[in-house]
Structure 1
Amino acid sequence: MYSNKKNKSAGFTLVELMIVVAIVGIISMLAYPSYQGFIKSSNRSAAQADLMSLAAAMERHKAASYSYKKAAVSGADTGSPANFHKHSPSAEPYANRKYDLLISQATGSTYLIEAKPSSSSAQAGDGSLFFYSDGRRAWDKDNSGAISGAEYCWTC
């Protein structure tokens, strides 16, 4: 009862493992940019929500003082808000900020607030988000420093 069949060991060959590693590498290479785009979009959405909350804080300030003026730190008309978080996402510590929240303009009856990408985050260069007291929304998508007609939209 002696058999002439050779014992074949079970397992993978080096070539098979190299093919699997190459396939995983290609999939990772294609997926990573999409993942980064998703992260930037999520951070931008958090900044939009924080801008809306800051807008509500500006309305509370006006209800109490009959003006949007002096809503910034130290009673200034512009700068970091005194009545809301100074960063976004506001639920996270300041060290993890992606955007800085600012009051860009405040008069007796109008305001302009901004979420400016933090230079120390992955959002740097993504362009500022703006919210106007009349309800207009803008995103400086091309990061040019000027808002054109097509940029008066947060999702465009």
Structure 2
Amino acid sequence: MALQADMTRAGLAPPRGFTLIELIIAIAIVGILAAMAYPFYQEHITKTRRAQAMSALQSAAEAFSRYKAGRPDFSYTDACFTGEGCANEIVSGSVPDDGAGPLYSLTSALSADGRRFVLTATATAEWSSRDGGLQLDSAGAKRWTDKGGEIWGCWPQGSSAPCSDGAAELDPEP
């Protein structure tokens, strides 16, 4: 307290707050930390959205299988996603299906005899720079096209590293 009284008598104000240099250093540190964290955040968002597309494809494959089981000829004939314009639109054709802009569009391709399908989730224009596409066929085989256009015979697991080798290939003809 005595120091403060001496400073006031001498015409000096007691020190308050931060100096400009301290403030600049604090802002620089926060900026560096944010620059390091942002790419990790973007990758996390990409993986989360891709997981939504994977889940939607698996749900759609189950819906297609239920549709096939309920038909007398046990085929997928006339089954499709909403928006594809067929007689039996059995499941939503976009991910997420919450009314907001879709991140992935879902499409189906049926074999000529209607006994096999290939379901595809393709990143929409807004999202395509961050991710590629996913495919799932009626036999359960999976394929992932990464954002660089490279095709993998399975879906990515966890990180952005490629999936394991030796996975089953998709039917050449849907």
**Residue segments in structure 2 that go unaligned for 5+ positions in a row:** 9-13, 157-162, 164-174
Partner of residue 79, structure 2: 71
Write out aligned runs for 1:71-110 (5 A): 71-72=79-80, 73-75=84-86, 82-90=89-97, 92-93=98-99, 95-106=100-111, 107-110=113-116
Partner of residue 127, structure 2: 122
Partner of residue 59, structure 2: 53
Partner of residue 136, structure 2: 131
- Over the aligned positions, Cα root-mean-square deviation in angstroms equals 2.2
Structure 1 residues 69 and 139 mapped into 2: Cα distance closer, same or farther (>3 Å)? Answer: same
3-state SS of 1:6 partner = helix
Write out aligned runs for 1:28-47 (5 A): 28-47=34-53
TM-score, normalising length from structure 1? 0.82
Identity %: 33
Structure 1 residues 105 and 142 mapped into 2: Cα distance closer, same or farther (>3 Å)? Answer: farther
Q: Between Structure 1 and Structure 2, how many residues are aligned?
A: 144
Q: Whose strand fraction is larger, Structure 1's or Structure 2's?
A: 2
Task: Give the deviation of 1:44 after TM superposition.
Answer: 0.3
Task: Give the deviation of 1:122 after TM superposition.
Answer: 2.8
**Equivalent pair of 1:128/1:143 in contact (CA under 8 Å):** no
Answering whether residue 28 of structure 2 is matched by residue 26 of structure 1, we say: no
TM-score, normalising length from structure 2? 0.74
Q: 1-side partners of 2:70 and 2:141: how far apart?
A: 23
3-state SS of 1:82 partner = strand
Answering whether residue 22 of structure 2 is matched by residue 16 of structure 1, we say: yes
After superposing on structure 2, the runs of 4+ consecutive aligned residues of structure 1 that deviate more than 4 Å are none
**Equivalent pair of 2:123/2:131 in contact (CA under 8 Å):** yes
Deviations 1:75-116 (A, max 9, x none): 37xxxx8100110123x21x3210001103344221100001
Q: 2-side partners of 1:132 and 1:30: how far apart?
A: 39
**Residue segments in structure 1 that go unaligned for 5+ positions in a row:** none
Structure 1 residues 142 and 40 mapped into 2: Cα distance closer, same or farther (>3 Å)? Answer: closer
